[in-house]
Amino acid sequence: MSVPSVGRTVETLAEERANPPFDVRKLSIIQHGSEKDLLLKEKFMLELARDPIFYLGDIHDLTKDELRERTFEKVGSLVYHVTNESIDDFQKRMQVIGLCDPGFWTRFGVHYGLFLGAIRSGATPNQMSYWMEKGVISCQGMYGCFGMTELAHGSNVAGLETTATFDEQADQFVIHTPHIGATKWWIGGAAQTATHCAVFAQLVIKGKKHGTKTFIVPLRNIKTLELLPGINIGDIGKKMGRDGIDNGYIQFTNVRIPRAYMLMKHSQVSREGHVTEPALQQLTYGALLSGRTAMVSDAADTAKKSLTVAVRYAAVRRQFKSSAEADMETQILDYPIHQRRLMPLLAQAVAFGFTSLEMQRLYETTSSALESLEPGDENLDDVINQLKTTHATSAGLKAFCTWACLQTIDTSRQACGGHGYSSYNGFASMYSDFAVHCTWEGDNTILALQSGRFLIQAYQEVVKGQKQSGGTAYMNNIEQVLKGKCSDKEELDTLEGIDKGWSTVAAHAVKKAAEDYEQCLKSGQSREQAFEVCSQVRFVAASVHTSGFVFRQFRAAVERVEAGAERDHLELLCKFYGLWQMEEKAAFFLRSGWLTGELLDHVQARVSEHCASTRKFAIPLIDSFAISDHILNSPIGCHDGDVYERYFDLVRRNNPQLAEHKYSDKILRFIHRAPEEMEDFEGEIDLDSELEEMAEEREEAEKEAAEAKSKQETKEDK
């Protein structure tokens, strides 16, 4: 007799784990950067799983208001660590928390990342001490929010319309919202929590605008949380996701603050209203890097999270028998098409993981170079170049990694069939929470274009003979690189060969963008116009370049690993990623001549083979991602494979069966209504004449409107 479909799910996962072809622990350590980092993550995960305030089983059934209250309570649980842990360790803690509860991550980050970050990077030492005394570090006596975005302006910070007008007599700034479009909008923490706001506003002195500066503006009475005079704050309400944070809007009506509440590390306003601007505007960009760097690692982690669920479930879910004699149905992970859906994404998630480690390293190097920079330093140019490169790299990675992760979440959901649509399996909230990463801190499309602009400039430098380093080094010897061609199938089986392919093809894409751009300049367009006209080719260049960049980070990481089974399997995944992306962007490989049609067929066949071979170690690989059941919060993805019992239990626990059902009387009234309840009218509806009348009325109205318009015009002509 055949075994029931739900039997043996636990045994199935155990079998999948029985003989891993590598040491799972070792592979995990490699992916986490070091054993210490992995242990730290495990420590944090354990603490979270045991902290009652981080219980996640009921999270999908909380109302927005309940969720906000619970989310705020978590602040108290975390604040102890922020004041007692090294920044490095605390950042790793936050990375784990971001994966567990993105809404809380945002809520906590609004004060500690954005508000405190604004003060740290913008305040003079004296100002810093002042706000520290007020309690900014430990959230004692204040809670901050970050007032950048306005209703009418997002990406365009220079275009913000809130004004900060200097009143010399009073030595104060007057913060004002001139019209509805300048209303501060989306301000996290504003609706219910924040007592202070770091407000981005146009500095106005004696009628002259001096650009956007940052001002600390008190919002609420810290004893009662009542709004201060001139402050209008409202709740922005329901969002696609991250409802744990209380986003709000703020309107200022002639709100006065002392002059010293403008952050004056970079620009200063003197007692007499003189403005001093910083020597190097670029150096203030540094602040953007941190958020983007965090988003790249969040993209890698979240992709791994969603795939952990989808791949484990695919291993235990059985559907259709391969033959009538078969004992059990086939694991859906054994279907080639299911492997095609998930395995390339698995390779990609691993690639993103290594890329995010490199991005983190780049960020740290650049940040410390910036911090140690003294006025007049001789390595100023180097630092600025480094900043530019890091900036462009983070922009491109943030865009393409968050897009790819969002797609991964939805593909994972679909791969779980109907059960992916249940909130309790976690994909719905994973998607809706993650989706905002594609928009905030720089819309992805805009960021991709920035990366493309940087690539054009790099190309121009290369053509002039300037050597590139870092992410654009592949363009050195550009003429040789552009002439590259894949020699044979064997080359496609080596990391070096695949790398060459990406270099040639990315170089072609960048060249196309640069040449189109120069063509525009020659035809008399301004630089800005030319960049606009070339936006699509710029976008494409950034896209192809980024795939190559990610491959290269993965390759470099693999080559740093000591020889052994772990390295061998990572190398397989790296080739898989490189070839799959080749297939995805095949047109560029054909167009540039790097691949012939026959070789492309070979690439496609190899990708299918990689899907099949990766499937064999998919479960141990997933295990090496080391994401706890608590964080997965998805019964169909649980570690032990007991998916149906857990799923059924969770659904039952959250939907008690004996609870009263509020509108059963309405249902009864409806199904037992008497036929005569609806009054009969004489005759039938004549739908045709009803529609005819509608059409006539419509025509009449249009005629009248046209006549009125022509009368109006005649009048105006006179």
Q: Which stretch binds its own copies (CB under 8 A): 164-172, 277-285, 458-466, 600-608?
A: 600-608
The verdict on 662 binding its own copies (CB under 8 A) reads yes
149 marked as part of a ligand binding site: yes
Q: Counting contacts by CB under 8 A, is residue 424 touching its own copies?
A: yes
Smaller CB distance to its own copies: residue 169 or 657? 657
The minimum distance between CB 655 and its own copies, in angstroms, equals 4
Of these, 206, 208, 223, 271, which contacts its own copies (CB under 8 A)? Answer: 223
Footprint on residues 450-469 left by its own copies (CB under 8 A): none
From the list 119-127, 165-173, 177-185, 561-569, the region that binds its own copies by CB under 8 A is 177-185
664 near its own copies, judged by CB under 8 A? yes
Does position 146 bind its own copies by CB under 8 A? Answer: no
Closest to 293 measured CA to CA, from 125, 442, 118: 442
Which of 329, 461, 515, 571 binds its own copies (CB under 8 A)? It is 329
Is residue 84 within the footprint of its own copies (CB under 8 A)? yes
How far apart are CB 538 and its own copies at their closest, in Å? 8
Neighbours of 525 (CB within 10 A): 16
Nearest distance, CB of residue 382 and its own copies, angstroms: 31
Q: Does residue 22 belong to the site contacting its own copies (CB under 8 A)?
A: no
Tokens of 337: 């098409």
Phi and psi torsions of 233, nearest 5°:
-125, 135
Please say which residue, 551 or 647, places its beta carbon nearer to its own copies: 647
Label residue 317 left, alpha or beta by phi (over 0 means left) and psi (-120 to 50 means alpha). Answer: beta
Tell me whether residue 191 or residue 357 sits nearer to its own copies (CB atom). 191
Residue pointed to by tokens 């990463």: 437
User: Phi/psi at 447 (nearest 5 deg)?
Assistant: -65, -40
Taking CB under 8 A as the binding criterion, the range among 350-358, 376-384, 477-485, 528-536 that sits at the site for its own copies is 528-536
Classify the phi-psi angles of 320: left when phi > 0, otherwise alpha if psi is within -120 to 50, otherwise beta. Answer: left
In the complex with its own copies, the residue whose CB is nearer, 86 or 169, is 86
Nearest to 136 by CA among 156, 117, 162: 117
Select from 238, 274, 522, 715 the one that contacts its own copies (CB under 8 A): 238
Judged by CB under 8 A, which stretch of 95-103, 118-126, 255-263, 533-541 contacts its own copies? Answer: 533-541
Least gap, CB of 467 to its own copies (angstroms) = 30
- Containing 192, the helix (H) or strand (E) segment is none
Q: Crossing angle of helices 35-50/87-100, nearest 10°? A: 50
Q: According to the binding rule CB under 8 A, does residue 559 interact with its own copies?
A: no
* Binding of its own copies by 335 (CB under 8 A): yes
Which of 673, 701, 706, 713 touches its own copies (CB under 8 A)?
A: 673
Selected binder of its own copies within 11, 14, 39, 361 (CB under 8 A): 39
Tell me: does residue 435 bind its own copies (CB under 8 A): yes
DSSP reduced 3-state for 209:
strand
For residue 60, state whether it binds its own copies (rule: CB under 8 A).
yes
How far, in Å, CA of 219 to CA of 182, rounded? 17
Q: For residues 239-298, which are near its own copies according to CB under 8 A?
A: 239-241, 249
We find the least distance from the C-beta atom of residue 381 to its own copies, in angstroms, to be 29
Phi, psi of 393 (to 5 degrees): -65, -45
Respond yes or no: is residue 645 known to be catalytic. Answer: no
Under rule CB under 8 A, residue 40 binds its own copies: yes
Q: Is position 671 an interface residue for its own copies (rule: CB under 8 A)?
A: yes
- Count Cα neighbours of 550 within 13 Å in the Cβ-side half-sphere: 34
Give whichever of 156 and 270 is closer to its own copies, judged by the CB atom.
156
Is residue 687 part of the contact set for its own copies (CB under 8 A)? Answer: yes
> Whole-number minimum distance, CB 488 to its own copies, in Å?
18
Binding to its own copies in span 560-589, by CB under 8 A: 586-587
User: What HEC string does 567-591 produce?
Assistant: HHHHHHHHHHHHHHHHHHCHHHHHH
Residue-by-residue DSSP string for 436-481: GGGTSSS-HHHHHHHHHHHHHHHHHHHHTTPPP-GGGGGGSSHHHH
Report phi then psi at 639, rounded to 5. -65, -35
Q: Which span sits near its own copies by CB under 8 A: 261-269, 302-310, 468-476, 689-697?
A: 689-697
Active-site residue, selected from the candidate residues 16, 150, 358, 441: 441
Is position 483 an interface residue for its own copies (rule: CB under 8 A)? no
For its own copies, which is the closer residue by CB, 367 or 654?
654
Structure tokens at 530: 């030319």
Compute the distance between CA of residue 185 and CA of residue 103 in angstroms, rounded to an integer.
18
| CA 150/CA 186 separation, integer angstroms | 8
Phi-psi group of 67: left, alpha or beta (phi > 0 → left; psi -120 to 50 → alpha; rest → beta): alpha
Distances (CA, A) of 129 to 108, 135, 325: 22, 10, 77
Q: Please classify residue 489 by burial: count the beta carbons closer than 10 Å to its beta carbon, then call 0-12 exposed, 13-18 middle and 19+ buried.
A: middle
> Which region, judged by CB under 8 A, interacts with its own copies, from 347-355, 481-489, 573-581, 659-667?
659-667
214 in Cβ contact with 122 (< 8 Å): yes
Q: Give the separation between CA 202 and CA 178, rounded to whole angstroms.
A: 11
> What angle in degrees, to the nearest 10, is found between the helix axes of 565-584 and 24-32?
60
Whether 201 and 177 have beta carbons less than 8 Å apart is answered as no
Crossing angle between the packed helical segments 565-584 and 495-522, to the nearest 10 degrees? 40
Among 236, 283, 380, 482, binds its own copies (CB under 8 A): 236
User: Should residue 440 be labelled a site residue for its own copies when binding is judged by CB under 8 A?
Assistant: yes
Shortest Å distance, C-beta 376 to its own copies = 32
Measured in whole angstroms, how far is the alpha carbon of residue 179 from the centre of its chain? 31
| Shorter beta-carbon distance to its own copies: residue 91 or 432 | 432
Per CB under 8 A, the segment of 35-43, 261-269, 307-315, 483-491 that binds its own copies is: 35-43
Residue 239 makes CB contacts below 8 A (sequence gap 6+) with: 247
Residue 534 in contact with residue 517, Cβ under 8 Å?
yes
Decide whether 384 or 533 has the Cβ nearer to its own copies: 533
Based on CB atoms, which residue is closest to its own copies, 39 or 279? 39
Q: Is 188 annotated as a binding residue?
A: yes
Of residues 186 and 549, the one with the C-beta less far from its own copies: 186
Output the known binding site for FAD. Answer: 149, 188
Output the known binding site. Answer: 149, 188
Q: Which residues are annotated as catalytic?
A: 441
